[in-house]
Structure 1
Amino acid sequence: MSLKQYTREFSYNLRLAYPIILGMVGHTLIGIVDNIMVGKLGSTELAAVSLGNSMIFIALSLGIGFSTAITPIVAEADAEKDSFKIRSTFHHGLFLCTILGVMLFLLIVLAMPLMELLHQPADVIVLAKPYLAWVAFSLVPLIMYQGYKQFADGLSMTKYSMYAIIMANVVHVGINYMLIYGVWIFPKMGIVGAALGTVISRIMMVLFMHIILSRREQLKTYFQNFSFNQIKKETVKKIVSLGLPSAMQMLFEVVLFATSIWLCGNIGKTSQAANQIALSLSSMTFMFAMGLSIVMMIRVSNQKGLMDFKKLIIVARSIFLLSLILEIVFAAVFVAFHSILPYIFLNMENTAQLVDNEEVIAIASKLVLIAAVFQISDGIQVVVLGALRGLQDVKVPMYITFVAYWLIGFPVSYYLSEYTTLKAEGVWIGLLAGLTAAAIFLYLRFHYLTKRLVNNSLSNN
């Protein structure tokens, strides 16, 4: 196969991907806006938001990971032109996402005492608890939104989630500004104001998504006559069988990143704040790869439904190549501006925080250099995961990600941070090791499966 066969797919991939990417970036911006606005209050407040979000990210990974089961089933049914299967998957998926959102909210509330057991700074915990309680509640509308989003993505209607996220960001920034700093008639609520801004924007996001999708003529049939009597055990079982391993895949990665927050918290609040800055920057660029991963899932599912496995491989490799190019560009930007980017997150005019802030910047600039390299591995592994989900292969990748992140990545992070002078840098070297191992083994899995599919197709013909 020539390079031209792959680059020929770039145009369509990008047209499908850019709304998803903008939506993902916008989604991440909600957290980054919190970090930037709260960072102006001080490093303790920034560390508190970081600690609270570390627990939220764990729950969120389960919700988002589970909801991805909806997209490949809908995309495959769309290629097969099976509207009954699309409708059934959407209704069952949204039902399960709603239940899961409530469960995750309750789980976070019950898990709040864990912050003391993690030996985090006491002043950080005091600020983190009320912030965490409110943001945990926002998981309910957010996971419901995921049900709508994954349904629309499966139908290749990727723009609607982008519109919802843009609206949510506008609302979020405005509410944050008024409630964090106490503008006009609103009280000064600090980081609790940031949490309330997140809750309100996410409620509006799910309402917006429902209204905009249900009013489209071609989708009206999927929104009519919902009944709990139509919930069938077989369909629930199929979505859960795909969603649970996908949720665990995402959980293994997110918990690894959450432990980086906890490990850096053990080192000190300046390391924890620096870690949050590096995470915020790398999360932004990761959203581009995540968007391409969803495109991969859609297009691979379509080709699977059409039983065109040779085209499936061409499509997949074109997205691999596109992701690699983008991540290398971002890596170059991180290297070039590693000492400048951390200043975005801190108020250097605050003389009371000057010593802490200078230490945060010194640490963060080193972490951004490591992030420049590991985001390449991170981008590859998430795009390959999208391909495997499109093939509805989720159990073996679940085991692969566990081994890569927890038998390779975490031990390296723990040892280098606790027993060497690398400290926070050691944590991120461990992240790099885990992500690189995941990228290699997941790609080998994809290569094995697609080769088997092509061989079986040839033998049947």
Structure 2
Amino acid sequence: MLQQYTREFRYNFRLASPVILGMLGHTFVVFADNIMVGQLGTAELAAVSLGNSFVFIAMSLGIGFSTAITPLVAEADGRGDRGEGRQVLQHGLVLCSLLGLVLFAAVLLAKPLMYLMEQPPEVVAFAQPYIDLVALSLIPLIVFQALKQFSEGLSQTRYPMYATIVANVINIGLNYLLIFGHLGFPAMGVTGAAVGTLVARVAMCFILWGLFRRRPAFAGYVERLAFRKIGKRMLRKIINLGFPSALQFFFEVAIFTAAIWLSGVLGKNPQAANQIALNLSSMTFMFGTGLGVAAMIRVGNQLGLRNFPELRRIATSIFLMTVLLMAGFALLFLLGRHWFPTLYLDLDDTVNFADNREVVELAARLLLVASVFQISDGVQVVVLGALRGLQDVRIPTLLTFIAYWLIGFPVSYFLGLHTALASTGIWIGLLAGLTASSIMLYLRFRYLTGRLIGQHP
């Protein structure tokens, strides 16, 4: 019985591993920024957290919208229809480029909100110049996402990974030069980290497009793009899938962003601790995200083939694989919760010693909660991927809103600001939201696949 699922593990991992590495690459950009900026002090680390909180909300909308490309390409690929796949790429690039511009403008317009959110003044001062450049990097990032989702829809998951790895090397190199002012470059501090992020994200787009032009797998898709010939049918199809998917990402990312802001109300040290725990949790979340993409691709292929019993079996194999993997991360967080935060701060800094020690202790408590929600976090994102593969997006959007904003956020707000739990209470709210989301989305998947199997025995 169990073997019918475990025999899929190898292929699931082969499909998901490049996506995981690519997604880890995005997170590693933030990880590198955090570690390097953290050497400057807790206020600078909190500033990166605050600046990224605005950008992450916008990014969630762009990345969520771009995910509509993958199931449409996967379904066309399952039917062997290259013309349809090319149309999805063409229209997806146009929509994602426009969305990137809109999100850049929206972040700039939202900057004054920093002064109204009861955030530490020194943190806001560092965050203001940082956010300008990172917001600009949203444009190439969302375009890259469109290319990435297209590639993954064809089950070609390696090439976005290659582009991301090179971009990370660029980012880390520029961080070294510009944050600290090595080799004659100016010491730009937090702003130097933003420059590195911008240049790296522009490079990603050019690298991935160059790979597309040179690989036979993309022949027939990328040669004859006609951006002047944009049709309403395909635009409507992508928007109908992309907009609810964007809201799903938004509802989840926004509650983690709310945790950043609530932590800022508590002070710069709770905000810095929150950033450390959030960055570490984001890394393990990328494993779930990669498996979610595998679920979206494989479910989309089976939907094109109309093989619904096989669709459910394959999806269940990915769910089981996710539970086992995330349980391992839960144990890792539990055992390493006191050591991981020390990577981000200079504990030999005598000037900031007291602040740094407090941040490490606070982050350890948050990682204890994060260890508990690892399985819920992984399951909810993988089941969402499977539902996108089924092109079911509207009801899951409602379910994620209920889970995060009617269950999770009220718990975070009350326990974080009105009880002695403080930062830990904020993260208990995240645990409640993620657990509710995973349960409701899984029940939705079982209901839909049961109905499809019943209609097509």
TM-score by length of 2: 0.99
Deviation at 1:456, TM superposition (A): 0.5
In structure 2, what is the equivalent of residue 397 of structure 1?
396
In structure 2, what is the equivalent of residue 346 of structure 1?
345
Deviation at 1:224, TM superposition (A): 2.2
1:120-139 Cα deviation digits (max 9, x unpaired): 11110011010000000000
The 2-side partners of 1:143 and 1:130 are apart by 21
Mapping 1:370-389, distance limit 5 Å: 370-389=369-388
Mapping 1:40-439, distance limit 5 Å: 40-439=39-438
1:390-422 Cα deviation digits (max 9, x unpaired): 000000000000000000000000000111000
The 2-side partners of 1:27 and 1:79 are apart by 29
Deviation at 1:304, TM superposition (A): 0.4
- Please tell me the residue identity of whatever aligns with 1:173: I
Deviation at 1:226, TM superposition (A): 2.5
Runs of 4+ deviating beyond 6 Å:
none
The 1-side partners of 2:159 and 2:17 are apart by 12
The 2-side partners of 1:85 and 1:117 are apart by 48
Tell me the SS of whatever aligns to 1:336.
helix
The 1-side partners of 2:2 and 2:48 are apart by 45
Structure 2: give runs of 5+ residues left out of the alignment.
none
Deviation at 1:165, TM superposition (A): 0.7
Deviation at 1:280, TM superposition (A): 0.7
Identity across matched positions, percent: 55
The 2-side partners of 1:167 and 1:339 are apart by 32
Q: How large is the RMSD of aligned CA atoms in angstroms? A: 0.7
Deviation at 1:117, TM superposition (A): 1.3
1:364-396 Cα deviation digits (max 9, x unpaired): 110001000112111010000000000000000
Deviation at 1:298, TM superposition (A): 0.2
The 1-side partners of 2:374 and 2:25 are apart by 19
The 1-side partners of 2:382 and 2:332 are apart by 21
Tell me the SS of whatever aligns to 2:221.
helix
Tell which deviates more after alignment, 276-285 or 224-233.
224-233
Tell me the SS of whatever aligns to 2:183.
coil
The 2-side partners of 1:157 and 1:117 are apart by 45
Tell me the SS of whatever aligns to 1:230.
coil
Deviation at 1:231, TM superposition (A): 0.6
The 1-side partners of 2:346 and 2:216 are apart by 50
Q: 1:324–1:218: structure 2 CA closer, same or farther, 3 Å change rule?
A: closer
The answer to whether the 8 Å contact 2:299/2:389 transfers is yes
- Please tell me the residue identity of whatever aligns with 2:252: E
Deviation at 1:168, TM superposition (A): 0.5
The 2-side partners of 1:354 and 1:320 are apart by 44
The 2-side partners of 1:223 and 1:444 are apart by 39
Deviation at 1:430, TM superposition (A): 0.2
The 2-side partners of 1:318 and 1:220 are apart by 32
Deviation at 1:185, TM superposition (A): 1.8
- Please tell me the residue identity of whatever aligns with 2:282: S
The 2-side partners of 1:338 and 1:249 are apart by 29
Deviation at 1:219, TM superposition (A): 1.9
TM-score by length of 1: 0.98
Structure 1: give runs of 5+ residues left out of the alignment.
none
The 1-side partners of 2:95 and 2:179 are apart by 34
The 2-side partners of 1:105 and 1:301 are apart by 32
Deviation at 1:228, TM superposition (A): 3.1
- Please tell me the residue identity of whatever aligns with 1:330: F
1:78-122 Cα deviation digits (max 9, x unpaired): 000111110000100011111111111111011100111111111
1:351-371 Cα deviation digits (max 9, x unpaired): 111010111011111000100
Deviation at 1:26, TM superposition (A): 1.2
